[in-house]
Amino acid sequence: MKACQIVSRKFHIDQSYRLETAKEHGAYNTLKEAFALSPVEIIKTIKESGLRGKGGGGAPAGAKWMLMPQDDERSSYLAVNCDESEPGTFKDREIISKDPHLLIEGIIITCYAIKSHDAYIYIRGEYYQFQKILQEAIDEAYTAGILGERVRGEAYRMDITIHRGAGAYICGEKSALLESMEGKRGHPRLKPKQKEPEWYFGNPTLVNNVETIASIPYIIKHGAEGYREFGTERSPGTLLFAMSGHVETPGIYEAEFGTPMFDYINYYGGGIRNGKKLKAVIPGGASTAVLTADEVACATLDYEHMRVVGSALGTGGMIVMDEDTDMVEALKNLLEFYHHESCGQCTPCREGTGWSDTILQRVLDGRGSSEDIDKLLELASIMDGKTICVFAPAVAIVIRSFIGKFRDEFEAKVTA
């Protein structure tokens, strides 16, 4: 396993969240180099690095940055997405609690590149204890003159404000996040008709995941080529992959893209708990198609290969399930999650998530029939591709993959 520490370098250092400690280990060293470059040069570097958004979608970060206007009367904003609500995902909290200064450093460089002076970190409401660590780090940075009117003596004002969510999974969707930051309900917006930045109170805005922004200092320091030393041609770099469920040592382990999934699980996760056999893995947060043990054996952790096996890399948060797992119960668990979290704005999602949950409950109560299983698949196709955002299509993927790959378990429940 190739060791890589693009964002996790300081995770194991005691009190690395403190400015003094972080600085001893090189925090904020890249600011000088970054300010020596022009904003356009930084964006070019990010584009060449092939950095992909690490919040789940995997869209090229550079292309997103290029949508931000370099000459505009309006203020530009950066919103850092730390909503981290995708089940199986818990990586951003590692960054904000173990190396918040790396994030701050990344924010400063990003803002300089997109000519923004105001960044917000949208953090899920439950993460309050981690938010406090991050806020202390920000306060320390203000005191040290890293943030504020002049960033390290440069003629550049930089303010970072933490914006706390309050329990809504959908706010991880970037337009819902901005709605929430505008003080509204987290309803995703209708998609724009052409490529354009996001908008915050009508101002051009960039939304990036915490880990994406935390990767920026490394790229500035080591250049695009340095970043490309890790990963594959089309999925360069690394990801803070996460593992939970039935493994011996669950947790967060940074690995390069292209790492075989099975090796990752065995090497970092210590294999399946209690010597059991592997049954399935949800590879990239709950909203990606579940993989069978056979598929896991040939899956590698990068965007392209995960597509080949019919799933997606997503957030890289793997939920590992052993041979004893009841896949019907597992799907029910996820459908309850989606039912609870649907924002309710548009019909197919609002009604479809609840209805599929109700049907599966019927199956589990022993009141179901084979038609109910087909009805779930039908609901999946109704929910797919007809909604404002990708929430309902994700539910469709989950339903299809569970029933498609484990139909016998579902049938057993309705014939028993």
Partner 1 sequence: MSQIDIVIDNMTFTAEKGSLLIDLLIKHDLKVPYFCYHEALGADGNCRMCMVEIEGQKRPQIACDTLIKEEMVVRTKGENIDGVRRDILELELINHPIDCPVCDQAGECKLQDFYMDYGLYESNIKQSDKVHHRKHIDLGSSVILDQERCVLCARCTRFTSDITKTHELGIIGRGDHACVSTMPGKKLDNPYAMNIVDLCPVGALTSKDFRFQQRVWFLTSSPSICHGCAKGCNIFIDHNREKYKDETIYRFRPRENQQVNGFFICDEGRLSYKKLQDNRQLDMILNGKSCEEAEALEAYRNLLEAGSGKIVILADANLYTEELEMIQIYAQKLGATLSSPMVSDLDDAFADEWLKSSQRASNAKAIEKLGIMTDLPDEKIALLINFNHPNTVSIDAERVISFRTNQQKEPADLILPLAVFSESSGTLTNEDGIEQYCPKVITRNDPAPTVIEWMIRCQEEVE
Partner 2 sequence: MSFEFTKENLEKIEALKSRYPSPKALSLPCLWMAQYQERYISLEAIETIGDLIDLPPMEIYRVATFYTMFNLEPVGKYHIQLCKTLSCALCGKAEMLNHLKNRLGLSPGESSSDGAFTLTQVECLGSCGTAPVMQINDQYYENLTPEKIDIILDSLEEGS
> Shortest gap between Cβ of 330 and partner 2 (angstroms)?
6
List interacting residues with partner 2 (CB under 8 A). Answer: 75, 77, 84-90, 93, 118, 124-129, 159, 161, 163-169, 180-186, 200-201, 203, 242-246, 250-252, 282, 286, 317, 319, 321, 325, 329-330, 333-334, 336-337, 340-341, 343
Greatest CA span in the chain, whole angstroms? 73
- Rounded Cα distance, 231 and 224, in Å: 12
Q: Which is nearer to partner 2, 30 or 342 (CB)?
A: 342
Residues 280-339 touching partner 1, rule: CB under 8 A, are 339
Residue 128 binding partner per list partner 2, partner 1, none, with a CB distance cut-off of 5 to 8 Å that depends on partner kind: partner 2
Helix (H) / strand (E) containing 280:
strand 278-282
Mention every residue, 6+ apart, whose C-beta is less than 8 A from residue 24: none
> Shortest gap between Cβ of 279 and partner 2 (angstroms)?
11
Q: Which is nearer to partner 2, 66 or 137 (CB)?
A: 137
Q: Which is nearer to partner 2, 21 or 266 (CB)?
A: 266
Q: Coil, strand, or helix at residue 185?
A: coil
Residue 388 binding partner per list partner 2, partner 1, none, with a CB distance cut-off of 5 to 8 Å that depends on partner kind: partner 1
Nearest of 123, 120, 52, 119 to residue 84 by alpha carbon = 123
Helices (H), 233-364: 261-267, 293-297, 303-308, 327-341, 347-364
Nearest of 161, 107, 106 to residue 139 by alpha carbon = 161
Q: Which is nearer to partner 1, 309 or 379 (CB)?
A: 379
Residues 154-183 touching partner 1, rule: CB under 8 A, are 168
- Residue 199 binds partner 1 (CB under 8 A): no
Task: Give the count of alpha carbons within 13 A of 196, CB side only.
Answer: 12
> Shortest gap between Cβ of 409 and partner 2 (angstroms)?
16
- Rounded Cα distance, 119 and 123, in Å: 13
> Shortest gap between Cβ of 131 and partner 1 (angstroms)?
23
Q: Which is nearer to partner 2, 37 or 156 (CB)?
A: 156
> Shortest gap between Cβ of 234 and partner 2 (angstroms)?
28
- Rounded Cα distance, 150 and 132, in Å: 24
- Rounded Cα distance, 372 and 364, in Å: 11
Q: Show the binding pattern over residues 337-366: x = contacts partner 1 (CB under 8 A), - = does not.
A: --xxxxxxxxxx-xxxxxx--x---x----
Residue recorded with tokens 């995960």:
306
Binding site for partner 1 (CB under 8 A): 168, 190, 193, 339-348, 350-355, 358, 362, 371, 381-382, 385-388
